[in-house]
Amino acid sequence: MVRSAEMKDLERVAEIERLSFPNPWTPYYLENALKDFFLVYDDGEVQGYLAATCRDQDEKATILKVAVHPEARGRGIASKLVRGALDAFERRGIKHVELDVKIISAGAVHLYEKFGFRIQRMVTIDVDDTSFLVMKKEI
Ligand X SMILES: CC(C)(COP(=O)(O)OP(=O)(O)OC[C@H]1O[C@@H](n2cnc3c(N)ncnc32)[C@H](O)[C@@H]1OP(=O)(O)O)[C@@H](O)C(=O)NCCC(=O)NCCS
Binding site for ligand X (CB under 6 A): 20, 65-68, 73-79, 101-102, 105-108, 110-111, 114
Nearer to ligand X, 20 or 62 (CB): 20
State the nearest-atom distance from the C-beta of 81 to ligand X, in Å: 8
Residues 6 or more apart whose CB falls under 8 angstroms from that of 115 comprise 79, 82, 83, 86, 137
**Least distance in angstroms from the C-beta of 4 to ligand X:** 19
CB of 108 to ligand X, least distance (A): 4
Q: Which is nearer to ligand X, 17 or 94 (CB)?
A: 17
Residues 24, 65: Cα–Cα separation, whole Å = 11
CB 99 within 8 A of CB 54: no
Measured from the CB atom, the residue of 56 and 87 that comes closer to ligand X is: 87
Shortest distance (Å) from residue 3 CB to ligand X: 16
CB 52 within 8 A of CB 64: yes
Nearer to ligand X, 74 or 116 (CB): 74
Could you give the angle at the alpha carbon of 125 between the alpha carbons of 133 and 83, nearest 5°?
30
Instruction: Compute the least distance from the CB of residue 89 to ligand X, in Å.
Output: 17
Q: Which residue is nearest to ligand X (CB)?
A: 107
Bridge partners (DSSP) listed for residue 104: none
- Pick 1 or 93: Cβ nearer ligand X: 1
Name beta bridge partners: 51.
Answer: 38, 65
The CB density around residue 56, as the number of other CB atoms within 10 Å, is 10
Cβ proximity of 87 and 51 under 8 Å: no
